[in-house]
A and B are shown apart, each in its own frame.
Chain A
Amino acid sequence: MFIRKSIIAATGLFLCLFLVVHLSANCILILPEETARTLYNSYSTTLRESPLIKIIAYVLYLSIMLHIIYALLITRSNKKAKPRGYHVNRTKDNSSWISQNMGFLGITILLFLIVHLTNFWARIKLGIGENVGLDNNGHKDVYEVTYALFQNVYVVLFYTVLMVPLGMHLNHGLKSALMTLGFYHKKGLRLLAKLSLIYASIIAIGFGVIPLIVFFK
């Protein structure tokens, strides 16, 4: 059981790190059109062709799968430990809503992830769906895929709104993961709580506004 929980925490932390890199790269998208197109496409091509990134990508896929599988397994065994709830339960008086609903928040992220991967990863990496064109440098025009997608209001809303549960999941997840892995420094934990909130806000707001900026470009 503890090994499962440690895997959820370790893979969660790795995913947290991935999100920082991912968000930094996505910031290119808000630059002026031509610069953004050249930069984003050449960045994306470099990544796709690097053998090191290939390995990291596989670690990433594995992390996502392990995180989800073990989260679901642990949620199931936790339900078994508490088969019956209370008639009246004032959890709000003793804990945050977020911490009580990590599984639900995770499922909404999973929903986002499925749509997100179909929109980009499947088209660009697997070649499933509409063909991706080339830019003037002969690079796959990933910028165009993004730009075209974010012309649709509903898509933009989906991408923006679902960053809220992501931010919530990360706010609790970051602190919880470090405690699961044995970080118990008292003052450090107080700082960690603040850092988790800052980190989660940057990720959620960052990923959330980029589609809006692209839409209004």
Chain B
Amino acid sequence: MKATFKIWRQEGGDAEGQFRLYDVDGLTEDMSFLEALDHLNEQLVQRNENVIAFEYDCREGICGQCGVFINGRAHGPNDAMTTCQVHMRSFKDGELIVVEPWRAAAFPIIKDLVVDRSALDRIIEHGGYISAKTGTAPEANAILIAKDKADKAMDAAACIGCGACVASCKNASAALFTSAKINHLNNLPQGKQEASKRVLEMTRQMELEGFGSCTFTGACEVECPEGISIINIAEMNASRIKAKWLE
């Protein structure tokens, strides 16, 4: 299988970037997208050229490191999937594959396809945890949690922080990420105690980091590898209004 990659190359944060074209031969449909990039990088090494910088860790959809924009979609052509889960069979033989880094003012480019997503970590630092020491894992039924609440919290907790929501949003809003982190904790008895403080501080940090505001285009929930619903954003807004103006 053949493909032509059109890949964004940029030496560093302040450097000018540009697209470069790479004709790649010897691919197979069973290769993952990242393996295809590895394959291309091996050829670049042999030609004594700089390899393309891209991020990954688990290569199985867990860590959220690998996001890039492929042919106009975050994490490639499929809905609800990470870049590392995309296979070359998702593309036609000989297809032109355009690969770009996440674009957002809050995600400065480090090199080529690698962006700095530490803005998301700083949002977590502002309340995306429970401050009380809870010791070792408690007996499972010691704290009762209604099924619907547990489900809601678990669905929100699935967020792997990949940044696809920010990347696909026309406003580079981090509302889906932040709401998932907030609702995951606020729906549980352990997180409830600090619910208002959490929602105020995390959303404040989200704005300080320079993410845009949410217009509910819904692009984020389609591109989210974990299928996190934008209803989380509406719920975050409700908690925000309650914490800010009603308490």
Residues of A within 8 A of B (CB): 1-2, 4-6, 74, 77-78, 80-91, 93-96, 99-100, 102, 172, 175-176, 178-184, 186, 189
Whether B105 and A189, one on each chain, are in contact in the complex, defined by CB atoms closer than 8 angstroms, is no
- Alpha-carbon distance A77/B172, docked complex (angstroms): 10
Whether B216 and A179, one on each chain, are in contact in the complex, defined by CB atoms closer than 8 angstroms, is yes
| Given A5-B213, A86-B100, A183-B238, also A80-B105 (CB < 8 A) | yes
| Residue from the list B72, B173, B218, B242 in contact with A86, Cβ < 8 A | B72
The interface residues of chain A lying within 8 Å CB-to-CB of B71 are 88, 90
Question: Which of chain B's residues has its CB closest to A178's CB?
Answer: B234
- Alpha-carbon distance A5/B234, docked complex (angstroms): 13
The interface residues of chain A lying within 8 Å CB-to-CB of B237 are 2, 179-182, 184
Whether B241 and A176, one on each chain, are in contact in the complex, defined by CB atoms closer than 8 angstroms, is no
Whether B217 and A86, one on each chain, are in contact in the complex, defined by CB atoms closer than 8 angstroms, is no
Whether B103 and A86, one on each chain, are in contact in the complex, defined by CB atoms closer than 8 angstroms, is yes
B86 to chain A, nearest CB (A): 14
Greatest chain A CB density within 10 A among B8, B217, B233 is at B217
Across chains A and B, the number of contacting residue pairs, with CB separation under 8 Å, is 126
- Alpha-carbon distance A82/B237, docked complex (angstroms): 22
Is B106 an interface residue, CB under 8 A from the partner? yes
Residues of B within 8 A of A (CB): 6, 8, 19, 69, 71-73, 79, 98, 100, 103-106, 168-173, 203, 207, 210-219, 222-223, 230-231, 233-235, 237-242, 244
Whether B218 and A88, one on each chain, are in contact in the complex, defined by CB atoms closer than 8 angstroms, is no
Whether A184 and B231, one on each chain, are in contact in the complex, defined by CB atoms closer than 8 angstroms, is yes
Whether A99 and B216, one on each chain, are in contact in the complex, defined by CB atoms closer than 8 angstroms, is yes
Whether A82 and B104, one on each chain, are in contact in the complex, defined by CB atoms closer than 8 angstroms, is yes
The interface residues of chain A lying within 8 Å CB-to-CB of B238 are 182-184
The interface residues of chain A lying within 8 Å CB-to-CB of B213 are 1-2, 4-5, 74, 77-78
B212 to chain A, nearest CB (A): 3
- Alpha-carbon distance A99/B71, docked complex (angstroms): 21
Whether A182 and B216, one on each chain, are in contact in the complex, defined by CB atoms closer than 8 angstroms, is no
Question: Which of chain B's residues has its CB closest to A77's CB?
Answer: B212
| Residue from the list B98, B218, B230 in contact with A87, Cβ < 8 A | B98
